[in-house]
Amino acid sequence: MKHLQVAAAVITHQDRILCVQRGLGRQRTAVSFKYEFPGGKLEKDESGHTALMRELKEELQIMTVIRPDDYMMTVEHTYPECHITMHVYRCTIQSPDITLTEHIACRWLPAEQLDTLDWAPADILIVRKLMEQDC
């Protein structure tokens, strides 16, 4: 089975968290039309935080600095087509203005409302952790 290393960002602005919705993609998969935290695959010899800065610029047209100490957690999840190891980092942005280049929608939600969205399976552990921390 294919194994992917990916990085994801929990992006906050004024106590709200950015949630982005995937489209259909090349073919219908377990994550089509689901919400997720933005990010993407690590390239060869790329660190998680470096990959994330690159992906956020590509996917959302935002520039932010993500440091190794912004690390939040790692999630392991197996989808029918692959296994992913997702390194999750926290970051804050100064403005909620983003430009979606790969996603079809976005929402800025407080942590206590995150469970109102239909999340990609790998992101559910992150949602739970964020909601527990908000209690």
Which CATH number covers residue 71? 3.90.79.10
pLDDT at 83: 95
Q: What is the pLDDT, as a whole number, of residue 69?
A: 87
Tell me the per-residue pLDDT of 104-126, one tens digit each, with 9 for 90 and over.
999 999 999 999 999 999 999 99
Task: Tell me how many domains the chain contains.
Answer: 1
Residues contacting residue 102 through CB under 8 Å, at least 6 positions apart: 23, 58, 59
What is the pLDDT at residue 27?
62
**The predicted structure's pLDDT at residue 134:** 64
Q: Which domain holds residue 76?
A: 2-134
Low-confidence ranges of the chain (pLDDT < 50): 135
Q: Give the 3-state secondary structure of 68-135.
A: HHHEEEEEEEECCCEEEEEEEEEEECCCCCCCCCCCCEEEEECHHHHHHCCECHHHHHHHHHHHHHHC
Q: What pTM does this model have?
A: 0.92
